[in-house]
Amino acid sequence: MNKHYRIGLVVPSSNVTVETEMPALLQRHRNATFSFHTTRMRMHTVSPEELRAMNGQRERCVDEIGDAGVDAILYACLVALMVPGHSDGVGEHERTEETVAAQLADRGLAPHVSSSAGALIHTLRASGLTRVGLVMPYLRPLAELVVAYLEAEGIVVTDWRALEVADNAEVGCIPGDRVLEAARSLDLTGADALVLSACVQMPSLPLIQAAEAEFALPVLSAATAGAFTLLDRLGLPVDLPGAGRLLTRDAKVGA
């Protein structure tokens, strides 16, 4: 019988996509089953002010999700850890993950803790990818923060597009053809991967397989990187078919 894991998601209150895409991804696993337990931080407009206020709710949300006895936690807002006033610069995702783990350890709890920012960096590094094109929903100033953060972590951003959507509810409704149109406008010369959605709220999961065929590159998103990292942290095979080649790292030939 497959082992069951509880996954805790800490999400902005206006997010809906990660709670759709993460179960859709992990339910494909052959060796485990998963349930998903969410706590929410108030945030509607993707602005530095609202992101800072949202991050201020973290301790409450971490305590709430700890009550569910989860095996792993994903702090599911990529740009939130890159905002001046909250972020101390390079490595903020690691500091946040360590702070969350320490808060739970004080209660005798020890779930694996990841963040969307950390998951993207971990997945790229674990896959040997260092040069990427990015598609993001953010306003340009926030998108520039994401680019600078990744480059400070040693990941070269060869080209990027910001769709300039500030309303986070609208981000969850961005149509796939607009995402692909932005990706097609990128100069991917020298890139070794495409991040089709550097945001867990911007839908992209149904696009990834087709995009890999079109661009002849590994394609990932904040959501698929989150799934990759959760499986890695839990010691489970990374084998989720139909979501890009990076999520079949541990697939058995002929399985």
Residue numbers annotated as active site = 77, 199
3-state SS record for the chain:
CCEEEEEEEEEECCCCCHHHHHHHHHCCCCCEEEEEEEEEECCCECCHHHHHHHHCCHHHHHHHHHCCCCCEEEECCCHHHHCECCECCCCHHHHHHHHHHHHHHCCCCCCEEEEHHHHHHHHHHHCCCCEEEEEECCCHHHHHHHHHHHHHCCCEEEEEEECCCCEHHHHCCCCHHHHHHHHHCCCCCCCCEEEEECCCCCCCHHHHHHHHHHHCCCEEEHHHHHHHHHHHHHCCCCCCCCCCHHHHCCCCCCC
